[in-house]
Amino acid sequence: MITWGCQMNVYDSARMTDVLRPLGYTPVADPAAAEMIILNTCHIRDRAAEKVFSELGRLRLIKDEREAQGRKTVLAVAGCVAQAEGEQILKRAPYVDIVLGPQTYHRLPEMVAKAARAGGSVIETDFPAEQKFDFLPEAEAPQTVENVTAFLTVQEGCDKFCSFCVVPYTRGAEASRPVASVLAEARRIVASGVRELTLLGQNVNAYHGEGPDGGTWALAQLAYALAEIPGLERIRYTTSHPRDMGDDLIAAHHDLPALMPFLHLPVQSGSDSILRAMNRGHTADDYRRLVDRLRTARPDLALSSDFIIGHPGETDADFEATMQLIRDVGFAQAFSFKYSIRPGTPAAGAPLQVKEALKDERLYALQALLREQQDAFNDSVIGDVAPVLFTGHGRKPGQMVGRSPWLQPVHVDGPADLVGTIRPVLITQRLSNSLVGNLVEECVPA
Ligand code: 5AD
Ligand code: SF4
């Protein structure tokens, strides 16, 4: 299983592994040892398809070599490139046996059987009427770091149609899993030792799942129910849309200590005219006010965001408005990207595309500011005692690594049995993207 792209792909790969296990397949590290190779792909930005074709060229050599030795090898392409470019893949890489979009993973065993029987290629990129989660087997404990943290998809797809984005086309319409199925999976995952759960969705805070009471539950209600699970110490969710940040969810950040004080809340731009062109449905000031309300509810809340530089029509003044928003809000961490044309999306054909050189210049300035803010945020916890959830071994011998409530990696010298526990750590030093500290004895609230 080769996984590219977002956390949801990581989760999906684990679920594809689960669905194949009853057929006798188990994951291996080396593609040359694999009877089936699944490439789980991402289509969000530039050159996604080219990257897939070049990887397929490499995998073809492995497949050919194995088959020359009489060992059959099934080659499958999954994920968002499969969804968007399925026909192209079969045309340009006819040695691919299976192409499957993200909504068809439950049909994988059937496709494997078909490919074996017919010998030809099988393609499934429809959006089936049935929900794949109703047909996928129960999730095994997900293979994350030492089984301490895990992802759980609760919502998928998007109806927002931002001008630049392929997700509504590759992942399909917004759909939420029923509450009972989410809670059951969460309980199983926690029983296997996981202490921190990250709920996933392309618009996770638009979650509206069928509740056990027959009503529709929002993400906030789900969070309160999850917080009741004994042993589940930390809850996160990603990715959120500012428009779906309801009062109930903001209140949950105040009420639930398990809801971690770190929120990825992409704003994309700080210019009202670009936000309008992007079809984001809110202004820069709406975002500022939302952040204020979140910080009132949970004063230690830190924010993370995504930014797009050079959306069609972005002027110097628009870019400056983005810089101003960043200065006003202050981000603990952020991802920033140059706008990249995605065929079939509204912005792709828009006039006033921004020149690459100008995008480079703006991105450089923006990333310098974000880096300053990230360093300042990491510096601000030096001298504090923070509760660290230990996830595994650090790079140096005798060193263990964990994560703070704000998702900062923290290294300490300590014994291996720290893994899976939350311990108070005195933060002493900042490295470029992580922190160093010492275990301390006193108890601090999580
Ligand atoms: N160009 C650049 N960045 C994009 N993103 C989504 N589509 C594009 C695009 N066409 C970014 C957004 C989104 C993140 C996952 O990827 O910032 O939040
Ligand atoms: Fe893409 Fe916008 Fe939907 Fe996010 S909200 S997945 S950026 S269309």
> How many Å lie between the centroid of ligand 1 and the Cα of residue 42?
12
Tell which residue, 48, 4, 122, 31, has the closest CA to residue 340: 48
Tell which residue, 27, 120, 149, has the closest CA to residue 405: 149
Which residue in the block uniquely carries the two structure tokens 């009877």? 35
CA 270, chain centre distance (Å): 23
Pairing of strands 234-238, 262-264: unpaired
Pairing of strands 122-124, 98-100: parallel
Residue 262's CB is within 10 A of a number of other CB atoms, namely: 21
Tell which residue, 45, 162, 166, 37, has the closest CA to residue 112: 37
pLDDT at 145: 52
Binding pocket residue ranges, ligand 2, CB within 6 Å: 158, 160-162, 165, 167-168, 202-203, 241
| Rounded distance between C-alpha atoms, residue 196 and residue 243, angstroms | 26
Residue 326's CB is within 10 A of a number of other CB atoms, namely: 21
**123: part of which helix (H) or strand (E)?**
strand 122-124
pLDDT at 143: 47
Supply the DSSP symbol for 196.
E
| Rounded distance between C-alpha atoms, residue 260 and residue 227, angstroms | 11
The answer to whether the CB of 167 is under 6 A from ligand 1 is: no
Per-residue pLDDT of the chain (446 residues; tens, 9 = 90+): 999 999 999 999 999 999 999 999 999 999 999 999 999 999 998 888 899 999 999 999 999 999 999 998 999 999 999 999 999 999 999 999 999 999 999 999 999 988 877 777 888 888 877 778 777 877 765 545 568 999 999 999 999 999 999 999 999 999 999 999 999 999 999 999 999 999 999 999 999 999 999 999 999 999 999 999 999 999 999 999 999 999 999 999 999 999 999 999 999 999 999 999 999 999 999 999 999 999 999 999 999 999 999 999 999 999 999 999 999 999 999 999 999 999 899 999 888 999 999 999 999 999 999 999 999 999 999 999 999 999 999 989 999 999 999 999 999 999 999 999 999 999 999 999 999 999 997 555 55
Q: Which atom of ligand 1 is nearest to the CA of 307?
A: 17
Q: Which of 164, 169, 170, 279 to mutate to test the pocket of ligand 1 (most atoms within 8 A of CB)?
A: 164
Q: Which atom of ligand 2 is nearest to the CA of 168?
A: 8
**Is 158 a known ligand-binding residue?**
yes
Supply the DSSP symbol for 399.
E
Q: Answer for the pair 176, 157: CB distance below 8 angstroms, yes or no.
A: no
